[in-house]
Structure 1
């Protein structure tokens, strides 16, 4: 998979677009489209207890996950925190068990990509 392959996808114009695009592409079973939301050097804290490092590894992971055709429901975002070219986005899961958080980085063209992704964070004792 080349960088050009990912360039064909619609890019996030603001940090909040990343979650919406993730849900849309995941529900379409599009692992390449999901990977296009991540920076080359992104780190995702998944599967639980481990890390997946790099866009290609994240693409491979999502290809396996999406084979089961899970359905993702958009969750209302918490307020985004932005400092320069970094943004922290988060959503509370509908089951109330913890939180999801991502750090995005503004790209030279003004669009945003995820660099850190904590898809599931359980509260202590949760």
Structure 2
């Protein structure tokens, strides 16, 4: 791993992700994840492990997408675990991550749900059922 800036707060992870994505740095994005992290992407699938996450981002970044910072919801912290989330700027739902404090005090993503559209989930839900 290169000597890149580390996330000193859970909220730093989103900023660092946007900076690295816009720089086309798939390895830098992968460095924001724990070695065995799980990402719920592509939609309906899971990408498991830092190397698989790096490979996925190499494919995504090959299309040169642009990312913008999104205003976060308040972070929930319990000891060395935190939940971060942002409403998607395009109005498609919420992005959520479970992050963990590392022994050096930095934070890394453990679970990442980059796309979640509650309205689509409600539409896909069978009639006569409800979410609890």
Q: TM-score range by the shorter chain?
A: over 0.9
Q: Which structure would you say has the larger Rg?
A: 2
- Say how many residue pairs are matched: 121
Residue equivalent to 2:19: 24
Residue equivalent to 2:72: 77
Match of 2:105 among 106, 110, 115: 110
Return structure 1 stretches of 4+ with deviation > 3 angstroms: none
Could you tell me how far 1:98 is from its partner in structure 2?
A: 1.4
Alignment of 1:90-109 (within 5 A): 90-109=85-104
Residue equivalent to 2:129: none
What residue ranges of structure 2 are gaps of 5+ in the alignment?
Answer: 125-132
TM-score, normalised by the number of residues in structure 2: 0.89
How far apart are the structure 1 equivalents of 2:77 and 2:105? Answer: 14
Residue equivalent to 2:34: 39
Residue equivalent to 1:61: 56
Could you tell me how far 1:95 is from its partner in structure 2?
A: 2.3
Could you tell me how far 1:7 is from its partner in structure 2?
A: 4.5
Could you tell me how far 1:62 is from its partner in structure 2?
A: 0.2
How far apart are the structure 1 equivalents of 2:51 and 2:72? Answer: 27
TM-score, normalised by the number of residues in structure 1: 0.93
- Aligned-residue CA RMSD (Å): 1.1
